[in-house]
Structure 1
Amino acid sequence: MTRPLFLGSEIYRGSSYGPWHPLRVPRVSTVMDLSRAMGWLPREQFRTSPRAKPAALTIWHTPEYVAALERAEAEQAVSDGVRDRHGLGTVANPVFPEMFRRPATSAGASLLSGELLAEGGVIYHPGGGTHHGFPDRAGGFCYLNDPVLSILSLRRAGARRVAYVDIDAHHMDGVQHGLAGDAETLLISVHEERRWPFTGALEDDGGGNCLNLPVPRGLNDSEMAEIRERLILPAVAAFRPDAIVLQCGADAVEEDPLSRLTLSNNAHWAVVAGLMGLGCPRLLVLGGGGYNPWSVGRLWTGVWATLNGHEIPDRVTPEAEAVLRALTWNRARAGRNPPETWFTTLRDAPRPGPVRDEVAGRVAVLARRPAARGHFPD
């Protein structure tokens, strides 16, 4: 693979979790449209994501859960027992027409990524990143856990050591559940403290291979640069992975409604660029959270530009501007009166600030952990 490959699907354009759910907004389809409108997504760099077959999902998910998810889509209803056992049909994880097909498409792309990266390369899968799924239960808008499936696929295709970095505003609870204590996987999560799912405490090392960094409200670009340069990049480099998986959730930016962090999208792009610079032979970049259609679309399109080495211009093309102006969002004042920059630019204004002692101190604590220096318990 000589050029990065974008895995996408039209299923994301036509499906929604429901009119009041945070995932009612278009995300992957917006990134596809913007990337094409910017001239960055030629046909040869795009591949349609396959839908994972139920049996393929059982390398980590239980057969009973996969069957329940299929049945819920077919019947468009769940029993109280299924709701209690599997977390389906809840406010967070509702019944909707594509509730098996959509996550199975995300899972299919993650499983395929491991195979495609067998000889090395870069893959972008913005429909992935559903890090809250558990083997037998949905959680946090995530019906399946495609990050875990991608890591298992990478290993099956020859990658022995995998570094997983998660910069979503919410902790990677499902991924940690699946891979905690695994000495051939390094897990790093940067997430907002005291935010659902209320896991990932600084003291939680997951059996030795997890570096959990809860950060306070108002995290700024300067603080994220501190985290990137003093924790993420040195720890991944010390681990010497055969593959890197980055969950690049877009909900840590200032405009997102489901966090209280204040990053600009520049911070995410810098993490992508930094991990690329480590020279690891395999890189898979996933999506994740992100609930403002303009901020997530602009951020994830900039990720694709970064992976390809494209310069991000001061103003988007007229075709890309038309894509951005066609978006709607009926949440609060931001959606009713969006700023002009959301229509005309991809890059946010930088949001620097002081590096607070609590952030620097937590980074220093984690940097002293054995896992941050490439050492894991036997």
Structure 2
Amino acid sequence: MDDTLCGLIDAPALPVYDLGADHPFARHRQLPLFDLIDRMGMATPAERMTAVPAGPLDLELAHDADYIAMVEATSAARTTPAQRASALGFGLGTSDNPIAVGQHAAAAAVVGATLTCVRAVLAGQRRHALNTAGGLHHAFRRRASGFCIYNDLVAGIRAARQAGVDRVLYVDFDVHHGDGVEDAFAGDPGVVTVSFHQSPETLFPGTGRAEDIGRGAARGSIVNMPFAPFTDDASWWECVAAILPAVVRRFRPGLIVSQHGCDPHREDPLAQLMLTTAPMRRAARMVRELADEVCGGRWVATGGGGYQPYSVTPRAWSLVWLEMSERPVPTRIDPGWIAAWQPECAEPLAAEFEDAPVAASPRTAQAQEINRRTLDRVLSLQGI
């Protein structure tokens, strides 16, 4: 296998992760993304990867057996009142994580896809690999949370650790704090978690303060950079560029796992950051360059949050893939793709991959001041 070959999971082939027609997590959001990739020839057949299904032991890398059994039980076409009552104790049956037919198979397939990426990269079959269906970072060992049932990231990182990778660095660019991943490895000095997210005082899940840096032997293994609402590209990137390279070079991981939620975008309906697609592309490039520098290119990336399934996620995740595979960004988006998907979207679809910059405003200036103070605190706490 060519050690420069990247891998892209064939996400549309996975069972549909369906939390309901009116749920913010769009059940078919992989379709417009892969239609764009296919129409524009942005991935070769050799790069496409078929996910290996996750078995029970794979799921137990991240979750307790009784939680898995409850997810399976509530995935049936019919559930009893007693089952539904018990499920609430596991975070199932809420508005964020409603009980849905087939949810076990769909969520397990996401875990299998991320594990496929991790194992291919560790085996030297792929230099980097991307699972855009993954990034379900809110699920806990015994509890569903924040649209996430099984935590594919925790399973992937733990599989890498069990395979002999001494140090894994996880970086989360989602607008929401990567709480489930942080919690899973809070006491493990062999895993560093870095999360760039909107301030917990203003957004779910209400965690991820700069002062949370780990405990005991793992002190310093947690890095949180919470952003003020209305943060723009320049302020966000200033903080990412100041923190991430320093942490990676100090820790020198054997594998980097990254989550590329695109909900920091200015059009996302569930948050208040003001990013365009430009810094999302730069973040992917930075991770690739750091992986090449410190760990022989071993990098696994996933998708994550992103609740504009036609206007934002196809462009943002295409850019992650283009940076991963070191392809140039096309000047224009295929007009046929726009014509095909415009009927699904109330707003005009962009004709280019990168957005026009956001104009500065008093709110973005105030956010920058707050972020610089937070950045100083993070750097001080981390000894950077």
Task: Give the length in aligned residue pairs.
Answer: 362
- Structure 1 residues 153 and 323: alpha-carbon distance in aligned structure 2, compared to 1, 3 A threshold: farther
SS of 1:22's equivalent in the other structure is: coil
1:149 aligns with 2:155: yes
Counterpart in the other structure of 2:351: 344
- In the TM superposition, what is the alpha-carbon distance from 1:323 to its structure 2 partner? 4.4
1:295 aligns with 2:307: no
Counterpart in the other structure of 1:277: 289
Match of 1:356 among 368, 373, 377: 368
- In the TM superposition, what is the alpha-carbon distance from 1:301 to its structure 2 partner? 1.1
Counterpart in the other structure of 1:168: 174
SS of 1:68's equivalent in the other structure is: helix
CA offsets 1:281-339 (integer angstroms, 9 cap, x no match):
2111111100111211111111111111222122112343344435x2xxxxxx42x13
- In the TM superposition, what is the alpha-carbon distance from 1:352 to its structure 2 partner? 6.7
Higher mean Cα deviation, 87-96 or 163-172?
87-96
1:190 aligns with 2:203: no
1:11-90 equivalence runs, <5 A: 11=13, 14-24=16-26, 26-77=28-79, 79-90=83-94
1:305 aligns with 2:305: no
1:86-235 equivalence runs, <5 A: 86-120=90-124, 121-193=127-199, 194-207=202-215, 208=219, 209-235=221-247
In structure 2, how many angstroms separate the alpha carbons of the residues matched to 1:240 and 1:119? 19
- In the TM superposition, what is the alpha-carbon distance from 1:10 to its structure 2 partner? 2.9
Counterpart in the other structure of 1:250: 262
Q: Check whether the contact 1:38–1:320 (CA below 8 A) recurs between aligned residues.
A: no
Q: Check whether the contact 1:25–1:291 (CA below 8 A) recurs between aligned residues.
A: no
Q: Check whether the contact 1:164–1:244 (CA below 8 A) recurs between aligned residues.
A: yes
Aligned-partner residue type, residue 97 of structure 2: N
SS of 1:117's equivalent in the other structure is: helix
Aligned-partner residue type, residue 134 of structure 1: F
Q: Check whether the contact 1:181–1:206 (CA below 8 A) recurs between aligned residues.
A: yes
Identity of aligned residues (%): 30
In structure 2, how many angstroms separate the alpha carbons of the residues matched to 1:314 and 1:125? 25
- In the TM superposition, what is the alpha-carbon distance from 1:195 to its structure 2 partner? 0.5
- Structure 1 residues 66 and 237: alpha-carbon distance in aligned structure 2, compared to 1, 3 A threshold: same
CA offsets 1:345-371 (integer angstroms, 9 cap, x no match):
22112337457222112112212234x
Unaligned runs of 5+ in 2: none
- Structure 1 residues 80 and 14: alpha-carbon distance in aligned structure 2, compared to 1, 3 A threshold: closer
Aligned-partner residue type, residue 296 of structure 1: T
SS of 1:214's equivalent in the other structure is: strand
- In the TM superposition, what is the alpha-carbon distance from 1:41 to its structure 2 partner? 1.5
Aligned-partner residue type, residue 366 of structure 1: V
CA offsets 1:2-30 (integer angstroms, 9 cap, x no match):
21100133355855311210013532222
In structure 2, how many angstroms separate the alpha carbons of the residues matched to 1:163 and 1:352? 34
Aligned-partner residue type, residue 369 of structure 2: D
In structure 2, how many angstroms separate the alpha carbons of the residues matched to 1:351 and 1:123? 31
SS of 1:86's equivalent in the other structure is: coil
